[in-house]
Amino acid sequence: MKTFPTYLLDRTKLKDSHTLAVYRANGGYKALEQVLKKPCTPDQVTQVVKDSGLRGRGGAGFPTGMKWGFMPDPKKDPRPRYLAVNADESEPGTCKDRVLMEKDPHGLIEGCLIAAYAMRLSTVYIYVRGEYRVSYDRVAAAIEEARKANLLGKNILGTDFTCEMWMHKGAGAYICGEETGLMESLEGKRGHPRPKPPFPAGSGLWKSPTTVNNVESLFNAPYIVERGADWFKALGTPKSTGNFLCGVSGHVNKPGVYEVPFGLTAREILEEFAGGVWKGRKLKAWFPGGSSCGMLPASMIDTVMDHEGTKNAGSMFGTGAMIILDETASVAQIMEVTLRFYDHESCGQCSQCREGTQWLHQIFKRIARGAGKQEDIELMSSLANGMAPGKTICALSDAAAIPTRARAPSAGSLVGTTATATVARASRPTTLIDQAEVAWTFGIPNVAWPKAPNSPKGTSAPPITRSPTCSRNCRARRYSPSPWRTPSAHARMPPTATATIPSTKFICTSRPSHVVGSMTSIQYHTIAPSHPVTISATDGSAYPAGRSSAHQRSTASAGRPERLKSCPMSAMPTSHKPPPSTKSPSPVRP
Amino acid sequence: MALPQKLIDEFNVLVTHYPERQAALIPALHRCQEDLGGWISPQIMEDVAAYFELEPVEVFGVVTFYPMFRTTPRGKHLVSVCHNISCTLRGAEELLAKVCEVTGAKVHGTSPDGQFTVERVECQGACANAPMFDLDGVYHEDLDAAKAEQILRSALSSKVKA
């Protein structure tokens, strides 16, 4: 096994590593003291991080120092500025930030403080996903400890640097890991990603300059500041520097989160750290970086694990979370699970994503139960072309389409593997699934698919049916009205919608993304006249003549509540021009 | 029905963390769900909306967007079984079947005795310890059928309020 220096997980192995005492006894907050007392200018700190080549660990791999540099000069732009920490870790396969937050929360706080100093800001929000209760409690307790020790709040360590930090709990939506979705959620709204530009550095939280960083990215900052950019660059590869946390899960002997430098091959990580494929079985396929990165066949296990290596292999590095499938796994079943996930998590703003994820899910569901049709490949391809790349507001649609577009250059070996594979569930028609797998994974267009044995008379597979009741192909076929309809408005509604109602707001509780309830939202859908669903206006008496008076009250600036009038944001120019350098990439991990 | 004063006091602190009041909405809804019966009723939505100076339907929109907020009552214990990729690979479906068998509840349903509500959820970030479920906010990881049964039975026998 190659030896290499470690730093990310060193403290997590200590007893009570989440306490301030242990953190300080092991070199904690040294970097912060170094920055504040030496003193370094904020630009010097940013420069060190830029020089180190640190790339964001949240999925897109965007250079962190460059992102910090996008924040406008506070002398020219007096708006408040924010750092939002993306701890909404929900990419399937990824469980690294949780380890850091649970075992070493002060490391995150120190990283946030250094970032706040470098970007000259004084408010940090840590957006933790709602399910991570232990992480939330640990970081919240660490913030309290730090506050008492004068490491947070006013005049930190006796200097004039002031910084406040607040925890914010998410509520289970994957899309809130996308940076603009996260900002919407932090503002107390549905997590609908925003179109870019404007980029967060120009107009983010409450229309102010904002930077969104991943937990692990920030966690690296104190080490870089303390030990220097050259030390950091010596780790990893020239373009992907440092160590990263690699979560290995699935069919392996020792699943876990391992600290490794960029540049090891996936085989080294799988065999030397994770103990190889479990039960002595062979490898069939693997995800290099969570579900959003295309699956690779066993033949490509020697891919170098860094941003460049995975890209050359036809996939992406993502969050560096490897998911391993052994020879008994059904790729079709895993694709069904993956697409079910995107179907569930699509926020519903962009039609191609909202509909496309549902269609892909249904197609994979059909393939997985052995009823795939030959046309499915063409259909998937056409759906995927409509969904990606870059055709929607955020990258969730791309992520959902990527697996279906996966084209591995060396298809041959997986064909061999699949042909000899024994599918886990004996009841499933093996040959059909295997052929389907080969076909969609490698884009072999002319596989002659056998007739589905479970279809009527063996002639054709069951069609994908559109719901008889919902024009939007809603699976649960269950619309329910908003509780806030007035009897008079309801009485005016015919039992089925007719063309006399030009556009109708409605609520669908079967699928959160279909809920279109906000009066402030301009997004609503019209329902076809023949739609046999009971529709209720979400707005009472004023419906459908226009917006309600209450709505006007809440949106018109003149009518804003007194408290909001005093908010600095309301005094902000509405047409702020973002700095020309804000070319931040679209995040890979929504 | 108004919100309890204790929650109002907490909200009053929460809103000071943000420049705009609405930002505290999601943390506030979490607190309501925790303290007021494990789900968010239309009445609670109206009360919260009044507190945040929003339309009730805006709160409804937020509540229904986020999977963690429940709009229907649940049993005393909530079991959330992860069924994403890593958990499926290591036997989530079998685990879910076992959970349903032990609790007597259907998936996304509540057991007849009102003790357990079982749901399947997407990735919980415990992929390296798959399969897992979340029982009343506590992760139980590296499960197998026997372990799961034991955990559920001890939850049933414990007198502590979930």
The values of phi and psi at residue A495, to 5°, are: -60, -30
Residues B45 and B108 in one domain: no
Q: Which of B60, B62, B88 sits opposite A334 (nearest CB)?
A: B88
A321 touches chain B (CB under 8 A): yes
Q: Say if A583 falls within a structural domain.
A: no
On the question of pLDDT at A132 being above 60, the answer is yes
**CATH number of the domain encompassing residue B130:** 3.40.30.10
Residues A270 and A229 in one domain: no
Which residues of A fall within a CB distance of 8 Å from B88?
Answer: 333-334, 337
Host domain of residue A539: 471-545
**CATH number of the domain encompassing residue A296:** 3.10.20.600
| pTM score over 0.90 | no
Q: Say if A587 falls within a structural domain.
A: no
More confident residue, A376 or B156: B156
What's the pLDDT tens digit per position in A462-495? Answer: 444 433 333 444 433 333 445 554 333 333 333 3
Residues A386 and A340 in one domain: yes
Q: Select the highest-mean-pLDDT range: A429-433, A502-506, B41-45.
A: B41-45
Q: Say if A67 falls within a structural domain.
A: yes
- Residue B160 pLDDT: 53
Mean pLDDT value across chain A:
75
Q: Which residue of B has its CA nearest to A517?
A: B61
Residues A300 and A345 in one domain: no
B84 touches chain A (CB under 8 A): yes
Q: Say if B162 falls within a structural domain.
A: no
Residues A497 and A395 in one domain: no
Q: Say if B71 falls within a structural domain.
A: no
Cis peptide before B131, with omega less than 30 degrees from 0? yes
How many degrees, rounded to 5, is the angle at CA A11 between CA A5 and CA A13? 100
What's the pLDDT tens digit per position in A265-302? Answer: 999 999 999 999 999 999 988 999 888 888 888 888 99
On the question of pLDDT at A539 being above 70, the answer is no
Q: Say if A558 falls within a structural domain.
A: no
Q: Say if A58 falls within a structural domain.
A: yes
- Residue A494 pLDDT: 39
Residues A166 and A89 in one domain: yes
Residues A321 and A335 in one domain: no
Asked if A483 lies within 8 A of B88 by C-beta distance, the reply is: no
Number of domains within chain A: 4
- CB-side exposure of A153: number of CA atoms within 13 Å? 11
- Mean pLDDT score, B16-36: 95
Q: Say if A395 falls within a structural domain.
A: yes
Q: Say if A578 falls within a structural domain.
A: no
Q: Say if A581 falls within a structural domain.
A: no
**CATH number of the domain encompassing residue A409:** 1.20.1440.230
**CATH number of the domain encompassing residue A147:** 3.40.50.11540
Asked if B88 lies within 8 A of A190 by C-beta distance, the reply is: no
- Residue A404 pLDDT: 66
A513 touches chain B (CB under 8 A): yes
Mean pLDDT value across chain B:
92
On the question of pLDDT at B146 being above 90, the answer is yes
Best residue in A134, A189, A319, A338 for a mutation probing chain B (most B CBs within 10 Å): A189
Q: Say if B58 falls within a structural domain.
A: yes
Residue A583's Cβ-count burial label (10 Å; 0-12, 13-18, 19+) is: exposed
A520 touches chain B (CB under 8 A): yes
Restricting to A residues 407-426, those with a Cβ less than 8 Å away from any Cβ of B are none
Host domain of residue B104: 77-157
Residues A248 and A351 in one domain: no
Crossing angle between the packed helical segments A375-387 and A351-368, to the nearest 10 degrees: 150
What's the pLDDT tens digit per position in A21-39? Answer: 999 999 999 999 999 988 8
Residues B86 and B145 in one domain: yes
- Residue A574 pLDDT: 41
Residues A200 and A57 in one domain: yes
Residues A141 and A213 in one domain: yes
Residues B29 and B84 in one domain: no
End of a domain among A290, A305, A326?
Answer: A326
Residues A272 and A340 in one domain: no
B56 touches chain A (CB under 8 A): yes
Residues B34 and B61 in one domain: yes
What's the pLDDT tens digit per position in A177-235? Answer: 999 999 999 999 999 999 988 999 999 999 999 999 999 999 999 999 999 999 999 99
Q: What secondary structure letter does DSSP report for A534?
A: -
Asked if A168 lies within 8 A of B27 by C-beta distance, the reply is: yes
Number of domains within chain B: 2
For residue A345, name the pLDDT band (cuts at 50, 70, 90).
very high
Asked if A189 lies within 8 A of B22 by C-beta distance, the reply is: yes
What's the pLDDT tens digit per position in A365-415? Answer: 888 887 877 777 778 878 888 888 888 999 999 888 876 654 433 332 232
Residues A305 and A191 in one domain: no
**CATH number of the domain encompassing residue B35:** 1.10.10.1590
- Mean pLDDT score, A532-538: 36
Quote the CA–CA distance of A570 and A425 in Å, as a whole number: 60
| Residue in this structure with the two tokens 């050259």, named with its chain if needed | A230
